[in-house]
Structure 1
């Protein structure tokens, strides 16, 4: 198996251009951030507090090993290094930063920080993929951030420096990971399940020594915690990443990135259904803005509107 050739996205008037035929693929890919939106309620309601690295480790390594057993394919040549880099960016760094942000910040603040990822991807696509900067993508990315903020931020939202740094760091790590995943593609004959297994395993192996050194002995795990770890590992890890990498391969990277806005929206809905929270008029307005940004991110820019700036 040889490494795949680098296939930068087209750098025309808007970089890689979404097609209306991509909508079913986008809907399937959107399952991933929707599942990720359950992380906040699972972390706060089911998992033992104070062990974000342990939670990240159990989300990554067992799922990665299961995928490797299914695929029975290891990287070759330069893909050992690429799988390691992507595993750290998409999983090894992003997972613990996500759990730190979820534990130290209200879910709304953490979700709003994560919502900046589409903006970061729009900028990274310029240097990494050779696309031109799209005003359409940036505008809807800003609308999405505002919408998420209106949904999940309240007057009592507390700020914590470490939590904010973790939230922004996690968004930046995954934004770069998504962009590089699009640039490098997959080796010929390698399935999304195999690619997910490589990255989940690499990320888990990166987390293993950090977890032992920084958190020591694992926490006591009760029945609800077992269910929480199984959900995060098998559904939020293995299944979600298989769908995610399949989507990245077939969709423009900026279209994939804006789907991340589904995560805080699902988290807000779970807050209503599971925690008894309510959504007021301002939050419903924000919900509509975020959904509009998600849909607009899957459509081509209207002719003559928000033409991309040259690099």
Structure 2
């Protein structure tokens, strides 16, 4: 079933699905607390760097979401606009048509669903469809209405560090002290949201690996994961299949594809888990599920 042939897609899609959804807070509160969580990536996009175009069909996207849950994902992160460097912008109404029916269907079957969006309109539509979390990569360029929506809804919100947007961020990857500057800009952003009524406990910090950063910046931030966890917020780390991992591996694996970076992703996820990351965002859920459980067993001396 293609999006063009799907009747009634949009912010008010599938009311029966929404009615069958479990209460948002109950599903969220049931997430494991004894290990780092695994967020599975579901891109309903044409041009994402790893899987663009594979899940534009609504049924394909829903099926992949179910596969991610079966593989061990605690949260499914649904996105309808690629935010890779130089990606095209997607209007909010097009983005909503892509993601709302997928969100509603996954929530209805019991999945905990995050929405990867920078648009207030899309976030609001997905919250109405039962989404549990808004994952906003816009950083310092966030839409003006986002803090008010998050404050009103009370849902958890991933606040990520980024300078510029997908078409300008590469030119802004200049730092004198990467960790200190990212931390300061994140806290400035956090304070903006808190000043507009968002509770500190709603906020999840993401240092934004790969967003307005080069490979050296990324490694500096990852080594400082524990520093970010000490800021008083949960921390999300997303390294999955990113270009800096390919650069590290390319001398041994030519030609190189994004999927060839999954083992390296699992390694960085395990290391982030060992430094207290609340969640890691990945494409290959099964390997990372095992990695974070190993990290938990290593830390606590017992199998998880």
Higher relative contact order (CA 8 A, sep 6+): 1
TM range (shorter): under 0.3
Instruction: Return the TM-score normalized by structure 2.
Output: 0.27
Bigger helix fraction: 1
Bigger strand fraction: 2
